[in-house]
A = this chain, B = another copy of it.
Amino acid sequence: MRQVAILGIGQTAIGEHWDQSLRDIGGQAALAALQDAGLEQVQALYVGNMLSPLVSGQNQLGAFFGDWIGLWQQEAVKVEAACGSGAAAFRAALMAVASGEVDSALALGVEKMTDKAGHDVTAALATAADGDYEVEQGVSFVGLNALIMQRYMHEFGWKHGDFAPFSINAHANAVHNPFARLREKISLEKFERSAMIATPINLLDASPVGDGAAAAVLVPADRVNTLPGRPRVTVAASASATDTIAVHSRKDPLVLAAAHASARRCYEMAGVTPDDIDVLELHDAFSIMSALSLEACGFAERGQGVRLGLDEAITIKGRIPVCTRGGLKARGHPVGATGMYQIVEVAQQLRCECDGTQVDGAAIGMAQNIGGSGASVVTHILAAN
Protein backbone atom coordinates (compact mmCIF):
# COMPACT_ATOMS: atom_id res chain seq x y z
CA MET A 1 0.00 0.00 0.00
CA ARG A 2 1.17 3.52 -0.68
CA GLN A 3 2.31 6.00 1.96
CA VAL A 4 -0.30 8.50 3.16
CA ALA A 5 0.11 12.04 4.48
CA ILE A 6 -2.10 14.33 6.52
CA LEU A 7 -2.58 17.39 4.33
CA GLY A 8 -4.96 19.33 6.55
CA ILE A 9 -6.35 19.36 10.08
CA GLY A 10 -9.27 21.10 11.78
CA GLN A 11 -10.96 21.11 15.19
CA THR A 12 -13.55 22.95 17.24
CA ALA A 13 -13.24 24.16 20.82
CA ILE A 14 -14.69 21.57 23.21
CA GLY A 15 -17.44 22.68 25.55
CA GLU A 16 -21.16 22.69 26.24
CA HIS A 17 -22.38 24.20 23.03
CA TRP A 18 -26.12 24.49 23.65
CA ASP A 19 -26.41 26.84 20.67
CA GLN A 20 -24.77 24.49 18.18
CA SER A 21 -26.12 21.28 16.71
CA LEU A 22 -24.30 18.07 15.79
CA ARG A 23 -24.38 19.33 12.20
CA ASP A 24 -22.83 22.70 13.11
CA ILE A 25 -19.98 21.21 15.10
CA GLY A 26 -19.01 18.47 12.67
CA GLY A 27 -19.35 20.79 9.71
CA GLN A 28 -16.99 23.34 11.26
CA ALA A 29 -14.21 20.83 11.86
CA ALA A 30 -14.62 19.24 8.42
CA LEU A 31 -14.51 22.57 6.60
CA ALA A 32 -11.55 23.74 8.74
CA ALA A 33 -9.58 20.64 7.72
CA LEU A 34 -10.44 21.13 4.05
CA GLN A 35 -9.40 24.77 4.27
CA ASP A 36 -6.14 23.86 6.00
CA ALA A 37 -5.49 21.31 3.24
CA GLY A 38 -6.23 23.89 0.58
CA LEU A 39 -8.78 21.57 -0.99
CA GLU A 40 -12.38 22.29 -1.93
CA GLN A 41 -13.40 18.67 -1.74
CA VAL A 42 -12.26 15.08 -1.12
CA GLN A 43 -13.34 11.78 -2.65
CA ALA A 44 -14.56 10.02 0.48
CA LEU A 45 -15.68 10.73 4.03
CA TYR A 46 -15.41 8.54 7.14
CA VAL A 47 -17.19 9.75 10.26
CA GLY A 48 -16.37 8.54 13.77
CA ASN A 49 -19.21 8.94 16.24
CA MET A 50 -20.66 6.96 19.11
CA LEU A 51 -23.74 8.66 20.54
CA SER A 52 -25.68 10.53 17.85
CA PRO A 53 -28.46 7.91 17.58
CA LEU A 54 -29.04 8.18 21.33
CA VAL A 55 -28.35 11.87 21.92
CA SER A 56 -29.35 13.57 18.66
CA GLY A 57 -31.73 10.99 17.15
CA GLN A 58 -29.57 10.97 14.05
CA ASN A 59 -28.07 7.98 12.25
CA GLN A 60 -26.38 7.73 8.85
CA LEU A 61 -23.76 10.40 9.68
CA GLY A 62 -21.80 9.59 6.53
CA ALA A 63 -24.49 10.89 4.20
CA PHE A 64 -25.53 13.46 6.82
CA PHE A 65 -22.15 15.22 6.89
CA GLY A 66 -21.32 14.42 3.26
CA ASP A 67 -24.46 16.36 2.34
CA TRP A 68 -23.61 19.22 4.69
CA ILE A 69 -20.13 19.75 3.21
CA GLY A 70 -21.30 19.25 -0.37
CA LEU A 71 -19.92 15.76 -0.95
CA TRP A 72 -22.40 13.74 -3.03
CA GLN A 73 -22.17 10.58 -5.14
CA GLN A 74 -19.05 9.55 -3.22
CA GLU A 75 -18.45 7.14 -0.36
CA ALA A 76 -19.44 8.43 3.07
CA VAL A 77 -20.00 6.10 6.02
CA LYS A 78 -19.87 6.11 9.81
CA VAL A 79 -17.48 3.91 11.77
CA GLU A 80 -18.23 3.17 15.41
CA ALA A 81 -16.01 1.61 18.08
CA ALA A 82 -17.35 3.37 21.18
CA CYS A 83 -14.82 5.96 22.43
CA GLY A 84 -12.39 4.53 19.85
CA SER A 85 -14.61 5.69 16.98
CA GLY A 86 -12.49 8.71 16.04
CA ALA A 87 -9.30 6.80 15.33
CA ALA A 88 -11.30 3.99 13.73
CA ALA A 89 -12.69 6.52 11.23
CA PHE A 90 -9.16 7.84 10.61
CA ARG A 91 -8.00 4.29 9.96
CA ALA A 92 -10.84 3.72 7.47
CA ALA A 93 -9.84 6.90 5.61
CA LEU A 94 -6.20 5.80 5.73
CA MET A 95 -7.06 2.40 4.20
CA ALA A 96 -9.09 4.06 1.45
CA VAL A 97 -6.18 6.29 0.41
CA ALA A 98 -3.35 3.80 1.08
CA SER A 99 -5.05 1.10 -1.01
CA GLY A 100 -5.56 3.46 -3.94
CA GLU A 101 -9.35 3.26 -3.75
CA VAL A 102 -9.46 7.08 -3.52
CA ASP A 103 -6.88 9.86 -3.82
CA SER A 104 -8.19 11.96 -0.94
CA ALA A 105 -10.33 11.30 2.09
CA LEU A 106 -11.66 13.19 5.07
CA ALA A 107 -11.75 11.62 8.53
CA LEU A 108 -14.13 13.36 10.92
CA GLY A 109 -14.67 12.59 14.59
CA VAL A 110 -17.71 14.30 16.06
CA GLU A 111 -19.76 14.13 19.22
CA LYS A 112 -22.63 16.25 20.52
CA MET A 113 -23.41 15.39 24.14
CA THR A 114 -25.03 18.35 25.86
CA ASP A 115 -28.47 17.82 24.32
CA LYS A 116 -28.92 15.05 26.88
CA ALA A 117 -28.05 15.98 30.44
CA GLY A 118 -26.83 14.04 33.47
CA HIS A 119 -27.98 10.49 33.90
CA ASP A 120 -28.91 10.07 30.24
CA VAL A 121 -25.32 10.57 29.11
CA THR A 122 -24.02 8.15 31.73
CA ALA A 123 -26.53 5.58 30.46
CA ALA A 124 -25.63 6.33 26.83
CA LEU A 125 -21.92 5.90 27.58
CA ALA A 126 -22.66 2.56 29.22
CA THR A 127 -23.68 1.21 25.78
CA ALA A 128 -19.92 0.77 25.23
CA ALA A 129 -19.82 -1.85 27.99
CA ASP A 130 -21.35 -5.31 27.81
CA GLY A 131 -25.10 -4.72 28.02
CA ASP A 132 -25.97 -8.29 28.95
CA TYR A 133 -23.28 -8.94 31.57
CA GLU A 134 -21.97 -5.58 32.85
CA VAL A 135 -24.61 -2.85 32.46
CA GLU A 136 -27.30 -5.31 33.52
CA GLN A 137 -25.57 -5.36 36.92
CA GLY A 138 -25.93 -1.61 37.20
CA VAL A 139 -22.28 -0.77 36.67
CA SER A 140 -21.41 2.46 34.84
CA PHE A 141 -18.22 3.27 32.99
CA VAL A 142 -16.70 5.14 35.89
CA GLY A 143 -17.68 2.17 38.06
CA LEU A 144 -15.76 -0.26 35.85
CA ASN A 145 -12.69 1.98 35.89
CA ALA A 146 -12.96 2.33 39.66
CA LEU A 147 -12.85 -1.45 40.05
CA ILE A 148 -9.75 -1.60 37.84
CA MET A 149 -8.05 1.26 39.72
CA GLN A 150 -8.85 -0.25 43.11
CA ARG A 151 -7.31 -3.55 42.05
CA TYR A 152 -4.23 -1.78 40.62
CA MET A 153 -3.64 0.12 43.87
CA HIS A 154 -4.12 -3.06 45.88
CA GLU A 155 -1.86 -5.20 43.73
CA PHE A 156 1.01 -2.77 43.27
CA GLY A 157 0.81 -0.76 46.46
CA TRP A 158 0.18 2.69 45.00
CA LYS A 159 -1.91 5.26 46.85
CA HIS A 160 -4.47 7.55 45.27
CA GLY A 161 -2.27 10.64 45.27
CA ASP A 162 0.30 8.83 43.15
CA PHE A 163 -2.02 9.25 40.16
CA ALA A 164 -2.17 13.03 40.57
CA PRO A 165 0.70 13.84 38.15
CA PHE A 166 -1.35 12.58 35.18
CA SER A 167 -4.14 15.06 35.85
CA ILE A 168 -1.81 17.90 36.87
CA ASN A 169 0.21 17.46 33.66
CA ALA A 170 -2.90 17.37 31.48
CA HIS A 171 -4.33 20.54 33.02
CA ALA A 172 -1.00 22.36 32.79
CA ASN A 173 -0.79 21.59 29.07
CA ALA A 174 -4.42 22.46 28.34
CA VAL A 175 -3.84 26.05 29.45
CA HIS A 176 -2.02 26.59 26.15
CA ASN A 177 -4.61 24.88 23.94
CA PRO A 178 -7.36 27.23 22.70
CA PHE A 179 -9.56 24.22 21.84
CA ALA A 180 -9.36 22.66 25.33
CA ARG A 181 -12.37 22.48 27.62
CA LEU A 182 -10.63 22.98 30.99
CA ARG A 183 -7.88 25.58 30.57
CA GLU A 184 -6.84 25.82 34.21
CA LYS A 185 -3.96 24.45 36.24
CA ILE A 186 -4.64 22.19 39.19
CA SER A 187 -2.48 21.53 42.26
CA LEU A 188 -1.80 18.30 44.14
CA GLU A 189 -3.78 19.73 47.03
CA LYS A 190 -6.81 20.43 44.83
CA PHE A 191 -6.53 16.95 43.32
CA GLU A 192 -6.55 15.29 46.73
CA ARG A 193 -9.49 17.35 48.01
CA SER A 194 -11.59 16.74 44.93
CA ALA A 195 -15.02 15.09 45.33
CA MET A 196 -15.13 11.31 45.18
CA ILE A 197 -17.20 9.90 42.29
CA ALA A 198 -16.66 6.15 42.50
CA THR A 199 -14.00 5.13 44.98
CA PRO A 200 -11.09 5.49 44.33
CA ILE A 201 -11.86 7.71 41.30
CA ASN A 202 -12.46 11.33 42.20
CA LEU A 203 -13.56 14.22 40.00
CA LEU A 204 -9.99 15.08 38.99
CA ASP A 205 -9.17 11.50 37.99
CA ALA A 206 -11.97 11.68 35.43
CA SER A 207 -12.18 13.38 32.04
CA PRO A 208 -15.06 15.73 31.21
CA VAL A 209 -17.34 14.95 28.28
CA GLY A 210 -18.31 17.71 25.87
CA ASP A 211 -19.32 18.72 22.35
CA GLY A 212 -16.56 18.73 19.79
CA ALA A 213 -15.27 17.65 16.41
CA ALA A 214 -11.86 17.19 14.84
CA ALA A 215 -10.95 16.26 11.30
CA ALA A 216 -8.06 15.49 8.98
CA VAL A 217 -7.59 15.33 5.23
CA LEU A 218 -5.52 12.39 3.96
CA VAL A 219 -3.82 12.19 0.59
CA PRO A 220 -1.03 10.08 -0.94
CA ALA A 221 2.27 11.26 0.56
CA ASP A 222 3.90 11.83 -2.82
CA ARG A 223 1.29 14.43 -3.59
CA VAL A 224 2.44 16.61 -0.70
CA ASN A 225 5.98 16.71 -2.09
CA THR A 226 4.72 19.02 -4.78
CA LEU A 227 3.39 21.60 -2.33
CA PRO A 228 6.24 23.90 -1.28
CA GLY A 229 6.35 25.18 2.27
CA ARG A 230 3.76 22.73 3.54
CA PRO A 231 4.87 20.59 6.50
CA ARG A 232 4.61 16.93 5.63
CA VAL A 233 3.12 14.64 8.27
CA THR A 234 2.95 11.04 7.15
CA VAL A 235 1.22 8.05 8.70
CA ALA A 236 4.01 5.64 9.63
CA ALA A 237 1.80 2.96 11.15
CA SER A 238 -1.80 2.06 11.97
CA ALA A 239 -3.20 -0.93 13.84
CA SER A 240 -6.55 -1.82 15.36
CA ALA A 241 -7.14 -4.55 17.92
CA THR A 242 -9.87 -5.71 20.28
CA ASP A 243 -10.12 -7.41 23.64
CA THR A 244 -13.07 -9.00 25.46
CA ILE A 245 -15.88 -6.47 25.78
CA ALA A 246 -16.45 -7.25 29.49
CA VAL A 247 -13.67 -6.51 31.96
CA HIS A 248 -14.43 -9.65 33.99
CA SER A 249 -13.67 -11.86 30.95
CA ARG A 250 -10.03 -10.82 30.80
CA LYS A 251 -7.21 -13.00 31.97
CA ASP A 252 -5.76 -9.98 33.74
CA PRO A 253 -7.95 -6.88 34.13
CA LEU A 254 -4.80 -4.81 34.73
CA VAL A 255 -3.38 -5.53 31.28
CA LEU A 256 -4.71 -3.69 28.22
CA ALA A 257 -4.03 -6.55 25.82
CA ALA A 258 -5.52 -4.84 22.76
CA ALA A 259 -3.55 -1.66 23.47
CA HIS A 260 -0.41 -3.77 23.72
CA ALA A 261 -1.16 -5.66 20.49
CA SER A 262 -1.97 -2.58 18.43
CA ALA A 263 1.04 -0.62 19.77
CA ARG A 264 3.39 -3.53 19.12
CA ARG A 265 2.13 -3.87 15.55
CA CYS A 266 2.60 -0.13 15.03
CA TYR A 267 6.20 -0.26 16.28
CA GLU A 268 6.95 -3.12 13.88
CA MET A 269 5.28 -1.38 10.97
CA ALA A 270 7.08 1.92 11.58
CA GLY A 271 10.36 0.25 12.48
CA VAL A 272 10.62 2.07 15.81
CA THR A 273 10.65 1.31 19.52
CA PRO A 274 9.02 3.19 22.41
CA ASP A 275 12.34 5.05 22.81
CA ASP A 276 11.80 6.67 19.40
CA ILE A 277 8.40 8.17 20.28
CA ASP A 278 8.72 11.91 20.93
CA VAL A 279 5.15 12.60 21.93
CA LEU A 280 2.28 10.35 23.02
CA GLU A 281 -1.39 11.22 23.03
CA LEU A 282 -2.84 8.48 25.21
CA HIS A 283 -6.42 7.76 26.21
CA ASP A 284 -6.61 9.20 29.75
CA ALA A 285 -10.37 8.88 30.20
CA PHE A 286 -9.50 8.14 33.84
CA SER A 287 -6.06 8.47 35.45
CA ILE A 288 -5.80 4.69 35.83
CA MET A 289 -6.01 4.43 32.03
CA SER A 290 -2.89 6.61 31.72
CA ALA A 291 -0.91 4.16 33.82
CA LEU A 292 -2.24 1.09 32.02
CA SER A 293 -1.70 2.65 28.58
CA LEU A 294 1.93 3.53 29.35
CA GLU A 295 2.50 -0.06 30.42
CA ALA A 296 0.69 -1.57 27.43
CA CYS A 297 2.69 0.57 25.01
CA GLY A 298 6.01 -0.45 26.49
CA PHE A 299 6.94 2.76 28.32
CA ALA A 300 6.79 1.12 31.74
CA GLU A 301 6.79 -2.33 33.28
CA ARG A 302 3.58 -3.85 34.61
CA GLY A 303 2.38 -1.92 37.66
CA GLN A 304 4.93 0.86 37.14
CA GLY A 305 3.11 3.27 34.81
CA VAL A 306 2.37 5.55 37.75
CA ARG A 307 6.10 5.97 38.29
CA LEU A 308 6.44 7.88 35.00
CA GLY A 309 4.09 10.53 36.35
CA LEU A 310 5.88 10.78 39.69
CA ASP A 311 9.25 11.05 37.91
CA GLU A 312 7.96 13.86 35.64
CA ALA A 313 8.81 11.76 32.59
CA ILE A 314 5.43 12.64 31.06
CA THR A 315 5.83 16.41 31.02
CA ILE A 316 6.73 18.44 27.93
CA LYS A 317 10.42 18.34 28.87
CA GLY A 318 10.26 14.73 30.07
CA ARG A 319 11.31 11.48 28.47
CA ILE A 320 7.87 10.76 27.01
CA PRO A 321 5.57 13.81 26.94
CA VAL A 322 1.92 12.74 27.12
CA CYS A 323 -1.36 14.62 26.61
CA THR A 324 0.55 17.63 25.37
CA ARG A 325 -2.62 19.52 24.46
CA GLY A 326 -4.48 18.56 27.62
CA GLY A 327 -5.48 14.98 26.94
CA LEU A 328 -8.97 13.67 27.59
CA LYS A 329 -8.64 14.97 31.15
CA ALA A 330 -8.40 18.68 30.32
CA ARG A 331 -8.75 19.14 26.56
CA GLY A 332 -11.95 17.14 27.07
CA HIS A 333 -13.51 13.86 25.94
CA PRO A 334 -16.25 14.24 23.31
CA VAL A 335 -16.23 10.48 23.07
CA GLY A 336 -16.49 9.61 19.36
CA ALA A 337 -14.40 12.65 18.42
CA THR A 338 -11.55 12.09 20.88
CA GLY A 339 -9.44 9.84 18.66
CA MET A 340 -9.44 12.48 15.93
CA TYR A 341 -8.41 15.19 18.45
CA GLN A 342 -5.46 13.01 19.44
CA ILE A 343 -4.34 12.59 15.83
CA VAL A 344 -4.80 16.28 15.05
CA GLU A 345 -2.75 17.14 18.15
CA VAL A 346 0.12 14.82 17.22
CA ALA A 347 0.08 16.41 13.75
CA GLN A 348 0.24 19.84 15.42
CA GLN A 349 3.31 18.74 17.39
CA LEU A 350 5.01 17.47 14.23
CA ARG A 351 4.12 20.72 12.47
CA CYS A 352 5.55 22.70 15.43
CA GLU A 353 2.27 24.52 16.04
CA CYS A 354 2.00 23.99 19.79
CA ASP A 355 2.97 27.29 21.36
CA GLY A 356 3.52 26.79 25.08
CA THR A 357 3.63 22.99 24.91
CA GLN A 358 5.74 22.36 21.83
CA VAL A 359 7.99 19.32 22.28
CA ASP A 360 11.43 20.27 20.96
CA GLY A 361 12.36 18.36 17.83
CA ALA A 362 9.20 16.27 17.80
CA ALA A 363 9.56 14.03 14.74
CA ILE A 364 7.65 10.89 15.66
CA GLY A 365 4.37 10.89 17.56
CA MET A 366 1.90 8.25 18.62
CA ALA A 367 -1.84 8.48 19.28
CA GLN A 368 -3.72 5.68 20.99
CA ASN A 369 -7.52 5.75 21.14
CA ILE A 370 -9.44 3.31 23.34
CA GLY A 371 -13.07 2.22 23.13
CA GLY A 372 -14.86 0.75 26.13
CA SER A 373 -12.67 -0.40 29.00
CA GLY A 374 -9.92 -1.45 26.60
CA ALA A 375 -12.11 -3.49 24.23
CA SER A 376 -11.40 -1.55 21.01
CA VAL A 377 -8.01 0.08 20.54
CA VAL A 378 -6.72 1.94 17.50
CA THR A 379 -3.12 3.17 17.47
CA HIS A 380 -1.33 5.38 14.94
CA ILE A 381 2.25 6.55 14.58
CA LEU A 382 2.78 9.78 12.65
CA ALA A 383 6.09 11.12 11.40
CA ALA A 384 7.36 14.52 10.23
CA ASN A 385 9.47 14.19 7.12
Report the bound CA distance from A249 to B1 in whole Å. 38
Q: Which residues of B contact A80 (CB under 8 A)?
A: 59-62, 77-80
Q: Which of A61, A76, A135 has the most CB of B within 10 A?
A: A76
Nearest chain B CB to A331 CB, angstrom units: 23
* Copies of this protein, total: 2
Report the bound CA distance from A56 to B129 in whole Å. 12
Instruction: Please pick, from B23, B72, B243, the residue contacting A243 in the complex, using a CB distance under 8 A.
Output: B72
**Is the CB of A150 closer than 8 A to any CB of chain B?**
no
A224-251 interface bits toward B, Cβ cutoff 8 Å, 1 = contact, 0 = none: 0000000000000001111111100100
**Is the CB of A371 closer than 8 A to any CB of chain B?**
yes
B240 touches A75 (CB 8 A): yes
A95 touches B99 (CB 8 A): yes
Report the bound CA distance from A66 to B372 in whole Å. 14
Q: Which residues of B contact A123 (CB under 8 A)?
A: 57
B54 touches A258 (CB 8 A): no
Report the bound CA distance from A240 to B123 in whole Å. 34
**Is the CB of A16 closer than 8 A to any CB of chain B?**
no
Q: Which 4 A-B pairs have the closest CB atoms?
A: A99-B99, A63-B375, A75-B240, A60-B82
**Residues of A with Cβ closer than 8 Å to B?**
1, 21, 23, 50-51, 53-54, 56-64, 66-67, 71-82, 84, 88, 92, 95-96, 98-101, 123-124, 126-128, 130-132, 135, 239-246, 249, 257-258, 261, 371-372, 375-376
